[in-house]
Amino acid sequence: MTDFRVWIGPEPFDPAEVPAATEALAPAKKAMIVQFRASLNEPDVARVKAAYGVRLDRFVPNFSFLERLDDETAARVRADFLVRTCIPLDPALKLASWIPSGTTPLDLIATLFDDADPAAVTAALGALGARDVVLTDNRSFGGSQYADFTLDDRAKLPLVAAIDDVVLVEPVPERAVTDLPAAQVFQSGVAGLNATPIWDHDLHGEGQILGLIDEGHLDLNHCFFNDAKEAKAGEDHRKVLAMFDQNDVGTSPHFMFVAGIAAGDSLDKNGKGGVHEHRGGAWAAKIACHSLNDMLGAVAVKFLVILGRLKDAGAFIHTNSWAGGIPAYNVDAVNADTFSFENEDHVVIAAAANTNNHVTGNGAPGIAKNVLCVAASQGPPDQMSFGSGKPGPTTDGRRKPDLMAVGNGIQSASLKQNSTALYCDAGPYFKSPELAATSWATPNVAAAATLVRQYFTEGWYPGGEKRGDHHLVPTGALIRAVLLNSTTNMTGIPGYPSDVEGWGQIQLDRTLVFKDGRARRLLVNDVRHAAGLSLGTKVTRRFFVGNDHEQLKITLVWTDPPAAESSTQPSRNVLKLTAQDALGVSYLGNDFDTVAGVSREGGTGTQDRLNNVQMIVVDKPFTGPWTITVSGTVVFGTQGYALVVTGA
């Protein structure tokens, strides 16, 4: 039986069971829920858009979209043979369930429909007593229009929600930071001699740019970020290409430590890098950074705009050692998914909330569908043990965090306040050596992602040696898939995969192959949205397993379109991963024996329709030809994807 419940508001409901409105809509447009009988293919989407002027850009599971329609258009839409129902959106469903209780003034943000009248919204909010109204327009970045404001009388909330132009009203997100062996662990799983197989092939981040968002800004007097010839950040600076801090918060010890872990490095007297003992995981990469605090205040900018600025500065990997205080698919999560979908060559990475944080669960941006959410392990020699991170799942049931990296025992750049001369202080951030932080694990993952991107852009795939004619610009989905495929089960955490470790600890040499390395194979299929799967289509890939001694791991990742801001179940496009060995034994993506930590034989489990990461793991694969099938179960438009296979 088809599930037609709409996931919006406190409980999902069937819109066809909602009593019809007794009064006619006014000539002005009103918010409506339009639900179709099934997923639409591309010709259907084109016809419906042309016939009724709808946008079909605010998706709410199942099969539904939020639209603004007048009475006459709503009647025509309702009569279309593809439409199951079309009902007004109850204003009460526009109020986010995470608006805090109490009577204190509320700092709120209203997402507006794309055709909203900003002047009318300002006037309507003012008439309700709202103050400090600030309008922002992120449509040029692929986002929405927003109204930030303060409401002193919470009794006026229903009236705010009743404003026709409003999609969702939610609290302004709280964003809190989440505080050389680590770089060795994410390369090889161990620390010590011969523990840097990726660095050993001259992959240190050369030619790559990392985007960092954190509190304040960097001190360019520190040797990790200093350029003797360039006093200011810019395109000629040897390390820092851009530094945005419009609220002028000042230098931040947290930002310094995070940036040092990701890409910090000093130069010796001969101008050579890569020699400092506490250098970052992608020490040769350049960085562009933006103050997290610019999302606050009267001239606040949205997360989507900040990501866009860092993109314009040349960054493709974006790291965020902070997490929102609300475990909901809010404006920051929507912005992260929008940016990732509209810019498919980019990767956004964010910290899980720390274990000792007062929040009840992980927040945005880490819980966005297309963001890698990072928990922390202990440092060597205990890197297979849990360090910090709120366990999942998300409130809608998706697996977060996604993976882990070392977040303990790290030494990085230390801030010397008010210094005007060059300095090179480095050390631990915490006085207590046992403390781990997701803030430190996250830039380690960003550094690993940077090295993965360099691997493909320099042409190391498929032959395992650097060749310019094999240059490949990887999608963000491919980079995420490689990182996830490289993970290993954390022996100190029960169950695999789990809501604590996600898919486990990153170890890049489990996936990236080199001609002079161990006999392990890497197969990649990177498909962009334009050439992606549509509803009911599938692709089949065949490969040969040479022995049963190497674990076979198949990872499918796709960058899902954003859901509507008010959706309580944001998963949109659903792909299915299956594999079959030479004997005809089938396996289904994410169908695991979590005690053994491997996929179940048979492939008869329930399809995972929530997560846009699907994996099959077989410890002793049957030798011979295997077949992988990726099919579009529920797809609106076309959906790109990345498929990564490792084994012998």
In the predicted structure, residue 178 carries a pLDDT above the cut 60: no
Name the domain count of the chain.
Answer: 4
- Digit-coded pLDDT (tens) for 231-269: 899 999 999 999 998 777 788 899 999 999 999 999 888
Average pLDDT over residues 351-361: 82
Residues β-bridged to residue 110:
147, 169
**pLDDT > 60? residue 166:** yes
Q: Are residues 121 and 269 in the same domain?
A: no
Extract the tokens encoding 270: 């001969």
Phi and psi for 614 in degrees, rounded to 5? -125, 140
- E-only strand ranges, 25-82: 30-36, 59-60, 64-69
User: DSSP state, 95?
Assistant: B
Per-residue pLDDT tens over the stretch 572-582: 999 999 999 99
Average pLDDT over residues 327-343: 94
Q: How far is CA 332 from CA 170, 295, 396, 450, in A?
A: 11, 10, 16, 23
What strand order describes the sheet that includes 64-69?
59-60, 64-69, 30-36, 83-88
Average pLDDT, integer, range 498-517? 94
Q: Could you tell me the pLDDT band of residue 211, with boundaries at 50, 70 and 90?
A: very high
For residue 1, tell me if it sits in a domain. Answer: no
The answer, yes or no, to whether residue 554 has pLDDT greater than 80, is yes
pLDDT at 21 over 80: no
Buried b (16+ CB within 10 A) or exposed e, 316-350: bbbbbbbbbbbbbbbbbbbbbbbbbbbbbbbbbbb
What pLDDT score was predicted for residue 372?
A: 98
Task: Determine the Cα–Cα distance for residues 612 and 271; give it in Å rounded to an integer.
Answer: 44
**Same domain flag for 103 and 242:** no
Q: What is the CATH number of the domain that holds 393?
A: 3.40.50.200
Strand 598-599, strand 347-351: pairing: unpaired
* Same domain flag for 102 and 159: yes
* CATH number of 613's domain: 2.60.120.380
Please identify which residue in the block is written with the tokens 């631990």.
Answer: 428
- 151 pLDDT band, cuts 50/70/90, is very high
* Residue in the structure block whose two tokens are 């990392």: 210
pLDDT(130) > 80 = yes
173 three-class SS: coil
Q: Is 617 helix (H, G, I), strand (E, B) or coil?
A: strand
User: Average of pLDDT values for 280-309?
Assistant: 88
| Average pLDDT rounded to a whole number, residues 347-368 | 89
Residue 509 lies in a domain: no
- CA distance to 177, 242, 322, 438, 554, per residue, from 258 (Å): 10, 16, 11, 10, 32
Confidence of residue 23 (pLDDT cuts 50, 70, 90): low
Residue 300: inside a domain, yes or no? yes
Question: Looking at the structure, do residues 295 and 389 belong to the same domain, yes or no?
Answer: yes
Q: Let me know whether 643 and 576 are in one domain.
A: yes
Is 495 inside any structural domain? Answer: no
Q: Are 142 and 339 in contact (CB under 8 A)?
A: yes
Over residues 521-539, the mean pLDDT reads 95
Q: Would you say residue 271 lies in a domain?
A: yes
258 in a structural domain: yes
Span 620-638, average pLDDT: 93
Task: Answer whether residue 22 shows pLDDT above 60.
Answer: no
590 contacts: CB under 8 Å, gap ≥ 6: 577, 608, 611, 614, 615
Which residue among 118, 142, 172 closes a domain?
Answer: 172
Contact 640, 559 (CB under 8 A): yes
Average pLDDT of the residues in 339-355: 96
Tens digit of pLDDT for each residue in 391-439? 999 999 999 999 999 998 888 988 988 888 999 988 888 877 778 899 9
* Pairwise pLDDT comparison (295 vs 78), residue with the higher score: 78
Query: Per-residue confidence at 298, pLDDT binned at 50, 70, 90?
Result: low
Of 319, 277, 287, 285, residue with least CA distance to 181: 277
Length in residues, the chain: 648
CATH of the domain at 62: 3.30.70
Q: Do 351 and 217 fall into the same domain?
A: yes
pLDDT number for residue 150: 93
pLDDT for 379: 83
State the Cα–Cα distance between residues 589 and 294, nearest whole angstrom: 41
Same domain, 286 and 393: yes
Q: How far apart are CA 509 and CA 198, in angstroms?
A: 7
Residue 46, in any domain of the structure: yes
The half-sphere exposure of 600 on its side-chain side, counting CA atoms within 13 A, is 13
Res 247: pLDDT: 75
Let me know whether 256 and 393 are in one domain.
yes
37 and 125 fall within a common domain: no
Domain boundary among 140, 172, 204: 172
512 belongs to a structural domain: no
Write out pLDDT tens, residues 62-115. Answer: 999 999 999 999 999 999 999 999 999 999 999 998 888 876 799 999 999 999
Report residue 175's pLDDT band, with 50, 70 and 90 as the boundaries: confident
Q: Which of 145, 172, 199 is the C-terminal boundary of a domain? A: 172
Q: Does residue 324 sit in the same domain as residue 340?
A: yes
d(Cα 283, Cα 281) in Å, to the nearest integer? 6
E strand intervals along 401-476: 403-406, 412-413, 426-427
Instruction: Please report the pLDDT score of residue 590 as a whole number.
Output: 98
Domain holding 40, by residue range, is: 15-89
Q: Of 332, 267, 315, which Cα lies nearest the Cα of 446?
A: 315
Question: What's residue 161's pLDDT?
Answer: 96
**Pair (165, 237) in one structural domain:** no
* Structural contact between residues 73 and 52, judged by C-beta atoms closer than 8 angstroms: yes
**DSSP for 213-243?**
EESSB--TTBTTT--TT-SS-STTSSSEEEE
Is residue 180 scored above 60 in pLDDT?
no
pLDDT of residue 272: 86
Q: Which two tokens stand for residue 265?
A: 């490095």
pLDDT of residue 24: 53
Q: Report the relative pairing of strands 624-634 and 613-618 from DSSP bridges.
A: unpaired
Whether 24 and 130 map to the same domain: the answer is: no
Average pLDDT, the chain: 91
Q: What is the mean pLDDT of residues 314-341?
A: 94
Q: In this structure, which amino acid lies at residue 620?
A: K
Mean pLDDT for the stretch of residues 142-165: 92
Which of 484, 645, 488 has its CA nearest to residue 554?
Answer: 645
pLDDT at 204: 96
